[in-house]
């Protein structure tokens, strides 16, 4: 039971201060509802994480690109006064289809559906959203351990605090929600099984970036665009800033290399890039990486084999639970573009509508 000494009661508690959680709070800012966001990390953003260093290119360790079809995300960016720019692809790409033959330089056709990046880095959307939310309504290092739905409220327990709310919204990946938070009364087995077999977008990804003084990869009609079946880098792209005066390469590593140490992964990266560009790849300013599988507040090991996108956007995520007091949100749950940033924003918009339309 909750004593009078415990925290005040909120209208809505949001679990997670990533793009969904912050977008939800943003859309509820004029609703009159009292809102508290509980974030397990010591930072906001979740799977959006831009690394900044003075005088160096911002590099994305998480969500990076959007497309023209991502209407809800674009609308939010416009509302926040944020701009986008086209991803630089170049006119040629390095293609390596087989290990027994040299890589090829292939011409890239015109791209009628380009990808875009956010000017200043993807984390700009996170900071812009946070600027519209009272900072006292976001609490850090508050990993939720349990939820107990009582008659007219939900009791939320973290390691050292107790909170009470009329409604609770989880924005965690469904797999993480199923594995990390004890919920009473328990969900039906069908829903638990669905969450346990829902793919966590980017959960197995390894992203890396190399910063350089100059973009040597653009010399001799080359580019930073790489597609390799051989690996360990399957994809890589030019990652210069919008102003094109700070330079970097950003790519992915095969997820199988998550168990290696960072030094070993860097050696593999440089070895592959040396084949394409020569020894100049060793003159990097800094190397950054993020192994999302090792992020305990993002990834939880699957029990069964789960395919990419599996159960993303499942209709069972677009209804309330615990007698209308609990919602399952997040990028994976959206009806349109699940897993992407647009899906995160779409999920927030749907839940905001449900919360404000309820009596």
Does residue 228 surpass a pLDDT of 60? yes
**Percentage above 70 pLDDT, the chain:** 97
Does residue 2 surpass a pLDDT of 90? no
Tokens of 356: 């404000």
Record: fold of 49-121+204-294: Polyamine Oxidase; Chain A, domain 2 (3.90.660)
Query: What pLDDT, on the 0 to 100 scale, is given for residue 3?
Result: 43
Query: What pLDDT, on the 0 to 100 scale, is given for residue 359?
Result: 47
pLDDT tens for 30-43 read: 999 999 999 999 99
Tokens of 66: 């959007």
pLDDT tens for 259-306 read: 999 999 999 999 999 999 999 999 999 999 999 999 999 999 999 999
DSSP helix/strand/coil, 13: strand
More confident position, 221 or 3: 221
pLDDT tens for 208-218 read: 999 999 999 99
Q: Is 58 left (phi over 0), alpha (psi -120 to 50) or beta?
A: beta
Residue 215 has phi, psi (to 5 degrees) of -85, 70
Range list of H helices, the chain: 19-27, 71-79, 123-130, 174-180, 189-196, 262-277, 341-357
Query: What pLDDT, on the 0 to 100 scale, is given for residue 14?
Result: 98
Query: What pLDDT, on the 0 to 100 scale, is given for residue 358?
Result: 60
Residue with tokens 């938070």: 181
pLDDT tens for 82-115 read: 999 999 999 999 999 999 999 999 999 988 899 9
Residue 72 vs residues 67, 181, 332, 355: alpha-carbon distances, Å: 11, 30, 15, 19
Q: What pTM was estimated for this model as a whole?
A: 0.94
C-alpha closest to that of 19 among 130, 107, 131: 130
Does residue 28 surpass a pLDDT of 70? yes
DSSP helix/strand/coil, 221: helix
Query: What pLDDT, on the 0 to 100 scale, is given for residue 8?
Result: 83
Query: What pLDDT, on the 0 to 100 scale, is given for residue 151?
Result: 83
pLDDT tens for 116-155 read: 999 999 999 999 999 999 999 999 999 999 999 988 899 9
Does residue 6 surpass a pLDDT of 90? no
Query: What pLDDT, on the 0 to 100 scale, is given for residue 7?
Result: 58
C-alpha closest to that of 211 among 129, 322, 287: 287
Query: What pLDDT, on the 0 to 100 scale, is given for residue 357?
Result: 87
- Residue ranges per domain, the chain? 1-46+122-202+304-359, 49-121+204-294
Please report the sign of the dihedral spanned by the C-alpha atoms of residue 139, residue 142, residue 143, residue 144.
negative
The CATH superfamily label for domain 1-46+122-202+304-359 reads FAD/NAD(P)-binding domain (3.50.50.60)
C-alpha closest to that of 19 among 310, 258, 339: 339
């Amino acid at each position: 039971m909750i004593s009078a000494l415990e925290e005040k009661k909120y209208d809505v508690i949001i679990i997670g201060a990533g793009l969904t959680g912050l977008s939800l709070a943003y859309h509820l800012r004029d609703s009159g509802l009292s809102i508290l966001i509980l974030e397990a990390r010591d930072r906001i953003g979740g799977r959006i994480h831009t690394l900044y260093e003075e005088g160096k290119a911002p590099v994305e360790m998480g969500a990076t690109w959007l497309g023209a079809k991502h209407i809800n995300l674009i609308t939010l960016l416009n509302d926040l006064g944020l701009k986008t720019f086209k991803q630089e692809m170049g006119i040629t790409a390095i293609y390596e289809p087989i290990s027994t033959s040299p890589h090829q330089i292939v011409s890239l056709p015109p791209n009628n559906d380009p990808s875009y990046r956010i000017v200043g880095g993807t984390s700009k959307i996170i900071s812009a959203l946070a600027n519209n939310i009272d900072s006292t309504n976001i609490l850090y290092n508050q990993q939720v351990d349990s939820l107990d739905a009582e008659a007219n409220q939900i009791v939320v327990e973290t390691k050292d605090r107790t909170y009470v709310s009329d409604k609770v919204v989880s924005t965690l990946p469904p797999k993480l929600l199923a594995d990390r938070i004890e919920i009473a009364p328990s969900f039906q087995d069908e829903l638990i099984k669905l969450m346990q077999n829902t793919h966590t977008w980017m959960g197995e990804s390894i992203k890396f970036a190399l910063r350089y003084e100059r973009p040597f990869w653009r010399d001799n009609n080359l580019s930073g665009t790489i597609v390799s079946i051989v690996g360990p880098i399957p994809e890589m792209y030019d990652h210069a800033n919008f102003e094109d005066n700070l330079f970097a390469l950003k790519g992915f590593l095969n997820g199988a290399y998550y168990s290696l140490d960072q030094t070993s992964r860097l050696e593999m990266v440089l070895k592959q890039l040396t084949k394409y560009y020569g020894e100049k790849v060793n003159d990097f300013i800094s190397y950054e990486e993020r192994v999302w599988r090792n992020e305990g507040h993002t990834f939880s090991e699957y029990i069964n084999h789960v395919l990419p996108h599996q159960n993303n956007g499942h209709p069972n995520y677009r209804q309330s639970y615990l007698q209308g007091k609990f919602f399952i949100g997040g990028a994976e749950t959206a009806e349109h573009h699940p897993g992407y940033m647009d899906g995160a924003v779409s999920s927030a918009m749907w839940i905001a509508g449900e919360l404000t339309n309820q009596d």
